[in-house]
């Protein structure tokens, strides 16, 4: 993977870029770009033989949530099959993994504790520890993956918000340590809720680690639309220019890849 950030648009934070995902696509994906959400690695309703009808390579960016595979198949089976790309028959596609999605893996901050992050899934509430998460990442082998995070709603206390940042940073280090490739494809997760200071703190700390890019999360959880620009800017101003930035659930200038939460719901 290679990301090239072009010059920012004058008078604005917006920037264009090119993401080279390798494989059969020589042409890069132009950013800002959207990820297509998936259920167990496959886009909803569009089977692999029809994916080719979508524009390439732009439609090759897929989001995957490892949480979808908590029940099955077993990580050992996924390994023997040969990883996510082989398992879902999409060898030319570029998978970016993060735990949260809008349908089947919703962060449940009440259930999150020092041991792991909690998610509401179709099979109930699940607590996921960094070790289990990294076991799934190792077996799935996505092209890029976000570290684990404690995403909290906008209305939590300052103390809880600060704890979420501390945990997220600790889990980033744990995930990198557990990664067999030493964090080569990791996207450092940035949280901080509705606090400008915490956002800055988290972003600065994550930027200090050797990561491939950044996953900017903790949005779409109760903060007002008016708050978002300032919070996002607090993050992006603390991040190196040349690295990839992803955001989940919203779209604002200064980010490169967006995880949309509504496309499948609208289509369905």
Partner 1 sequence: MALKFEVLGKFNRARAAQLTLPHFICQTPLFMPVGTQGTIKGLTNIQLEEIGCQLILGNTYHLALRPGAELIDELGGLHKFMNWKRALLTDSGGFQMVSLLHLADITEQGVTFQSPVDGKPMLLTPEESIQIQNKIGADIIMALDDVVKTTITGPRIEEAMYRTLRWIDRCISEFIWNCARRIRSCFTRYMCQRFGGPRFTRKANLTSYWDSYAIGGLVGGEDKDSFWRVVAQCTASLPEDKPRYVMGVGYPLDIVVCSALGADMYDCVYPTRTARFGTALVPEGILKLKNRAMANDERPIDLTCSCMVCKNYTRAYLHGLVTKDAMGSQLLSYHNLSYMMRLSKNLHTSIVEGRFPEFVRGFLQTQFPRGDVPEWVCNAMEVAGVDISSCCTPLASWHD
Return the residue matching tokens 């949280």.
191
Q: Based on C-alpha coordinates, what's the Rg of the chain?
A: 17
* Count of residues that bind partner 1 according to CB under 8 A: 22
**By CB under 8 A, residue 80 contacts partner 1:** yes
DSSP code per residue over 73-119: S-HHHHHHHTSHHHHHT-TT-EEEE-S--SSS-EE-TTT-BTTBEEE
Chosen residue from 71, 197, 237, 241 binding partner 1 by CB under 8 A: 71
Choice between 86 and 251, CB closer to partner 1: 86
At 239 the three-state DSSP class reads coil
Beta-bridged to residue 186, according to DSSP, are 145
Q: Which is nearer to partner 1, 77 or 113 (CB)?
A: 77
Q: Which of 9, 22, 48, 110 binds partner 1 (CB under 8 A)?
A: 48
Q: Which stretch binds partner 1 (CB under 8 A): 9-17, 43-51, 54-62, 206-214?
A: 43-51
Selected range binding partner 1 among 64-72, 158-166, 197-205, 216-224, rule: CB under 8 A: 64-72
Q: Are 61 and 32 in contact (CB under 8 A)?
A: no
The C-alpha atoms of residue 134 and residue 140 are separated, in whole angstroms, by: 10
Which residues from 88-147 bind partner 1, rule CB under 8 A? 88-89, 122
Chain positions contacting partner 1, by CB under 8 A = 39-40, 42, 44-45, 47-50, 69, 71-74, 76-77, 80-81, 87-89, 122
């Amino acid at each position: 993977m290679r990301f090239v950030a072009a010059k920012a648009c004058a008078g604005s934070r917006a920037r264009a870029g090119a993401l080279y995902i390798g494989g059969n696509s020589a042409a890069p994906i132009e950013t800002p770009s959207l990820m297509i959400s998936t259920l167990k690695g496959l886009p909803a309703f569009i089977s692999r033989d029809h994916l080719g009808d979508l524009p390439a390579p732009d439609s090759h960016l897929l989001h995957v949530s490892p949480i979808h595979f908590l029940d099955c198949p077993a990580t050992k089976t996924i390994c023997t099959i040969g990883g996510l790309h082989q398992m879902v028959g999409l060898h030319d596609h570029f998978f970016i993994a993060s735990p949260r999605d809008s349908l089947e893996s919703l962060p449940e901050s009440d259930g999150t504790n020092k041991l792991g992050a909690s998610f509401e899934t179709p099979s109930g509430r699940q607590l996921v520890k960094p070790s289990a998460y990294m076991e799934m990442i190792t077996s799935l082998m996505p092209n890029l993956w976000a570290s684990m995070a404690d995403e909290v709603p906008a209305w939590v206390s300052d103390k809880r918000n600060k704890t979420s940042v501390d945990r997220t940073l600790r889990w980033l280090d744990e995930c990198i340590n557990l990664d067999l490739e030493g964090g080569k494809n990791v996207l450092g997760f940035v949280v901080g809720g509705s606090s400008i200071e915490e956002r800055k703190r988290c972003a600065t700390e994550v930027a200090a680690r050797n990561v491939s890019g950044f996953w900017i999360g903790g949005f779409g959880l109760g903060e007002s639309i008016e708050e978002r620009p300032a919070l996002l800017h607090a993050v992006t101003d603390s991040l190196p220019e040349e690295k990839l930035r992803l955001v989940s659930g919203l779209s604002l200038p200064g980010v490169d890849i967006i995880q949309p939460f509504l496309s499948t719901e609208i289509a369905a």
